Structure 1
């Protein structure tokens, strides 16, 4: 049914992503699908903050995130299932949906963080992906 699956993870919270990755790997294995992985570095917000950090710092952050994601993926995802690893920066839910579109993913797998009272059941980024993505979205708790 699915040929391409996108798994969204946070490299700063990889231990929490383990059970989400297990669900995505299981789905990819059962479907015979390729599993792509995306990590989104949150945007710096105000332009003033971004200009203060400078391009060297932004590149260093992205390189570190890519290295962490690559090392984690080698351990968490069988090589025969693994597609592309993507590190991007911006608004988290928007970048996840954009990556899914670019990769022609039929399903997006995201984790739900521990909810605060205001976002009961699903975290704010997962909820936005669910609401705005044209693909099927699997939220793993």
Structure 2
């Protein structure tokens, strides 16, 4: 049986679980077609304005810079070529928007059985699976 290869793979990585994301990134490299492209994506959530009033103005900018630095570091560590991209907004929406913008044919999202403490990670993967227009691989 011939294994399907993909031309554009989105690998969303959450900053709190970079090691889990690294596994998904390495898996993406094995599924990538010759001449294909992997996009490492981190989506920075905007802070609601009623909360933002009490937070430093540079908080979001720092999160964007930190996300970019961690993804660049992951790319260097693995030696896997990839484009690094930072999105903003709700995670599932940012992942789906990036997949559409890049005409991705696969999203590999790291997830695990959600419990109360990581409920949103499970919810994000669930939302991506339900609404993506391309194949989604949930890596547990």
TM-score by length of 1: 0.82
C-alpha distance 19-42 of structure 1, shift in aligned 2 (>3 A)? same
Alignment partner of 1:13 is 2:17: yes
Output aligned runs, 1:24-103, within 5 Å: 24-28=28-32, 31-32=33-34, 33-44=36-47, 46-79=48-81, 82=82, 84-103=83-102
Decide whether the 8 Å contact of 1:21 with 1:77 is kept in 2.
no
Q: Distance in 2 between matches of 1:34 and 1:64?
A: 23
Q: Distance in 1 between matches of 2:52 and 2:98?
A: 22
Q: For residue 54 of structure 1, report the CA deviation from its aligned partner.
A: 4.8
Deviations 1:78-137 (A, max 9, x none): 23xx2x2111221110000001111111111101123228x99x9211110000111111
Structure 2 unaligned regions, length at least 5: none
Decide whether the 8 Å contact of 1:39 with 1:87 is kept in 2.
yes
Aligned residue for 1:67, secondary structure, equals helix
Deviations 1:5-58 (A, max 9, x none): 111111221122222122111111xx22211110112232x2111343354222
C-alpha distance 51-77 of structure 1, shift in aligned 2 (>3 A)? farther
Higher helix share: 1
C-alpha distance 77-5 of structure 1, shift in aligned 2 (>3 A)? farther
Provide the aligned length of Structure 1 versus Structure 2: 133
C-alpha distance 77-137 of structure 1, shift in aligned 2 (>3 A)? farther
